[in-house]
Every structure is written in structure tokens, then in C-alpha cells.
């Protein structure tokens, strides 16, 4: 079988596979001057842009997921603010699907699963923000729904975390969550590895 974007063209049953890109929450509040700036958001978004351009060039399905805060105590992604907007690096084209969500899991109370089923999508490439929250929740849910997943690790970003007075630096958070997702839940690749289709 010939590899396509890191997947085979057919699964073990000989059925054709169909791949889609999901870009999660690459929104202005995660960048400089945003209300929830992440570590490495610029680099991650530039890598996500490369992945997005590759899918556009090959006329493959693209889904943008946009988080819109729905709780009264929310401090970022507030409706009708600049911060909730999708960043210019990955700005959707008019014909590209945009799905709004209100929870970390992109499948929860959204049309995402029905949309993927309708398009007969079997395989997903996922990137976005935050690695420890919405990426983690969505990848695990997608695997439970039966999708095969490639996660582009360097097209994701996160931030420092704290537990019991101990600060866990963003780099450690990033590596820990990617390591946990790798193998069973997803195959974690760099942007370069994915675009080389190795």
C-alpha cells in the first residue's frame, strides 16, 4: 500500500481511507497582547500554516475549530472580541468548514462527529492549541470514535502549569502530553516529518 500523508490508502479491511485536517483554537487570545498568551504560539501557528497550505494544495477537507467562551467567568475567547478571532496565519477560506465549540473536547455538543461521518472521513491530522487541554481532549475523543490520528506536535502550543505550588514549565507540559498521546491515541510527528510523508 502506498503511504499518503503518513497513512496507508486502505485500512486492514481493504477499505479506502479519507483524511481531513482539524485545526483547533489557533485564536488571537493565545498570542502576544492576547489575554491567555501561550509559549511558542507563533512558531506553532507558522507550522500549522504549512500543514494547512499542504491540505489546500491537495484539495483535502479542512475543519477549523473555534472556541467561544460560554461561561460568565471566562477571561478569554469572549464573544465579539478580537481575541476570539482565528489567527491570520490560519484564517479560514470562505469554503472551509468552521465549527464553534464551548468545551475542550471539540466533539462535545458540536456537529464535528456528524460532519466527519457525512464526509466519510476515517483519518485525521490534528494541530492547534492548547496541547494540555483542547488538543488532548479532542485527540482522545477522536480515537474513541474510531479515527486514526496524526498529531503535529510542533504545530501545537501550551503554557506553564502549576500543581501544589510547583510550576511545570511549558516545554515539559508539551513533551509530557505529546508523549502520553503518542502510540495508542495518535502518531505524533513534526511538521517536517509529516510534509516529507515519512
**Amino acid 35: pLDDT:** 97
Contacts of residue 107, defined as CB under 8 A and 6 or more positions apart, other chains included, come to: 113, 138, 141, 142, 145
Q: Is residue 7 part of a domain?
A: no
- Indicate the pairing of strand 161-163 with strand 148-157: unpaired
Q: Is residue 161 part of a domain?
A: yes
**Amino acid 27: pLDDT:** 98
Q: Please check whether residue 64 is in contact with residue 96, taking contact to mean a CB–CB distance below 8 angstroms.
A: yes
Q: Is residue 139 part of a domain?
A: yes
- Indicate the pairing of strand 62-67 with strand 148-157: unpaired
Q: Residue 119 and residue 19: Cα distance in Å, rounded?
A: 10
As given in the structure block, the three cell numbers for residue 91 are 484564517
Q: Is residue 162 part of a domain?
A: yes
Query: Where residue 116 sits, what CATH number does that domain have?
Result: 3.40.50.850
Structural domain count of the chain: 1
Structural domain range at position 126: 15-195
pLDDT tens string 146-174? 999 999 999 999 999 999 999 999 999 99
Q: Is residue 78 part of a domain?
A: yes
Q: Is residue 4 part of a domain?
A: no
Name the residue among 129, 99, 126, 128 with its Cα closest to residue 112. Answer: 99
Count of beta carbons in the 10 Å neighbourhood of residue 96: 17
Confidence grade of residue 17 (pLDDT, cut at 50, 70, 90)? confident
Q: Is residue 1 part of a domain?
A: no
94 by DSSP, 3-state: which?
coil
Amino acid at each position: 500500500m502506498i503511504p499518503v500523508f503518513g497513512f496507508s490508502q486502505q485500512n486492514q479491511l481493504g477499505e479506502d481511507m479519507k483524511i481531513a485536517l482539524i485545526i483547533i483554537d489557533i485564536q488571537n487570545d493565545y498570542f502576544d497582547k492576547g489575554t491567555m498568551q501561550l509559549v511558542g504560539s507563533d512558531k506553532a501557528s507558522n507550522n500549522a500554516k504549512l500543514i494547512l497550505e499542504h491540505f489546500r494544495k491537495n484539495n483535502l477537507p479542512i475543519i477549523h475549530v473555534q472556541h467561544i467562551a460560554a461561561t460568565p467567568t471566562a477571561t478569554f475567547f469572549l464573544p465579539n472580541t478580537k481575541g476570539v478571532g482565528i489567527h491570520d496565519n490560519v484564517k479560514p477560506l470562505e469554503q472551509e468548514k468552521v465549527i464553534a465549540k464551548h468545551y475542550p473536547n471539540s466533539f462535545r455538543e458540536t456537529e464535528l462527529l456528524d460532519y466527519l461521518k457525512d464526509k466519510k472521513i476515517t483519518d485525521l491530522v490534528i494541530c492547534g492549541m492548547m496541547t494540555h487541554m483542547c488538543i488532548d481532549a479532542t485527540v482522545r475523543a477522536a480515537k474513541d470514535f474510531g479515527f486514526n490520528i496524526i498529531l503535529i506536535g510542533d504545530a501545537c502550543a501550551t503554557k506553564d502549569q502549576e500543581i501544589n505550588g510547583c510550576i511545570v514549565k511549558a516545554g515539559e507540559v508539551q513533551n509530557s502530553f505529546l508523549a502520553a498521546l503518542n502510540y495508542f491515541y495518535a502518531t505524533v510527528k513534526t511538521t517536517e516529518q509529516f510534509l516529507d510523508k515519512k
